[in-house]
Amino acid sequence: MQNKGIHLVSFLLVVIGGLNWGLVGFFKYDLVSSLLGGSDSMIARIVFGLVGLGALYLLATHKKDCRTCNAGGESSSHGHDLPA
């Protein structure tokens, strides 16, 4: 159960980071920095660090957790619980 919680938090952090990078790439707007006092603020740096740790965790556990990788690519739902 604890791994599920860590996985969910990591997933949410990586989504936040990905959306933020998308905003930076398309609009030159860093939402995280804007909300947290600039990219040099301690809280923004902590959030950026947590996003990085979340990505490392997902990278390290992907093979074990991914249904598509473990099913040999036969899954029609691409390894998620969403309908095909």
> Looking at the domain assignment, is residue 58 inside a domain?
yes
**What per-residue confidence (pLDDT) applies to 80?**
53
> Looking at the domain assignment, is residue 75 inside a domain?
no
Q: Would you place residue 81 in the very low, low, confident or very high pLDDT band (cuts 50, 70, 90)?
A: low
The alpha carbon dihedral of 42, 43, 45, 49 has a sign of positive
**What per-residue confidence (pLDDT) applies to 69?**
81
> Looking at the domain assignment, is residue 74 inside a domain?
no
**What per-residue confidence (pLDDT) applies to 1?**
56
> Looking at the domain assignment, is residue 77 inside a domain?
no
Per-residue pLDDT tens over the stretch 17-68:
999 999 999 999 999 999 999 999 999 999 999 999 999 999 999 888 778 8
**What per-residue confidence (pLDDT) applies to 8?**
92
**What per-residue confidence (pLDDT) applies to 9?**
93
> Looking at the domain assignment, is residue 80 inside a domain?
no
Q: Which domain holds residue 45?
A: 2-67
> Looking at the domain assignment, is residue 52 inside a domain?
yes
**How many independent structural domains does the chain possess?**
1
What backbone torsions phi and psi does residue 5 show, to the nearest 5 degrees? -65, -45
